[in-house]
A = this chain, B = another copy of it.
């Protein structure tokens, strides 16, 4: 009997490209067929998956016929239109956009945290969380199971690729424009160096220079000065963990890193927690690498984490003044666990039920 059929919508985008890398790197492979799907503009491209050259198909209702699981790595509005069509045609849609995450009829799944929720999917759609939330969720979920999470104060150090290939290209162009110059020492000199290199701010996916800078903004403006990214961290954490009254404050900041989001987390639990207990729990998770030996200069940094599947956790400290509270630092590749990998893990888990 041939295995189930997997579709990847958005196969030629930044996340889709990482997904193909994930396909090629897996040891277990439950799928009988893979269909690569993209906009008509990218249709016809050839991409090799596990040794077989596949032709990218144009997005259309009939490409979902016979598909068991359809993964969507496309903008919100494309998912909003097409995931229901895939579901109608009999596929389970696993969507990485923001279109369905807070829909009561759509589970929001991180396999190592709440895989049990994936079975209850009245719309035939399962949502994948936002990359910033996902980068910390394996660690938070493991600690919550043991100590009962009550409060989160989070500051992010988000990579340029959170804004897609355009974000990566912009960051690299900005590095080239400032490297070897004495800039970053006077207000406005980074802006001048970018302008001199022909990089106008209006063409950037970021609202300020990112090279030699940090930008306290991500997403779009919501009520009372909060941005969409900060509210996603709050609302998605609550939904994934099943804690509707979880207290959350997030500040989202873009940093000049290509890929891998980092977060400084201040997490308060209902129960007492020690660093030794936290270390033991974190080290026991298959999807977490504990790197926490500052005496030897060992802690997670994006440059050592990027391109890998695990979430890296370090700098675990017991808060000195807050009871039942840990401070720690976590790094996760925002294109892998933060996007493509988690989506694939949901699909892989579904394959076992088909």
Binding site for B on A (CB under 8 A): 151, 153, 155, 157, 172, 175-176, 178-180, 182-191, 207-209, 211-217, 221, 224-227, 234, 245-249, 251, 253, 255-259, 262, 264, 266, 275, 292, 294-295, 297, 299-308, 314-322, 325, 327, 329
Contacts and interface: CB of A to CB of B under 8 A. Distances in A.
A186 B315 contact: no
A249 B175 contact: no
A225 B275 contact: yes
A216 B299 contact: yes
Nearest to A184: B258
Contacts of A259: 184-185
B251 A315 contact: yes
A264 B247 contact: no
A167 to B, nearest CB: 12
A13 to B, nearest CB: 16
Nearest to A305: B187
B184 A315 contact: no
List 3 tightest A-B contacts by C-beta distance, closest first: A184-B258, A179-B179, A155-B155
A179 B179 CA distance: 6
Given A153-B153, A185-B306, A186-B306, A214 B248 contact: no
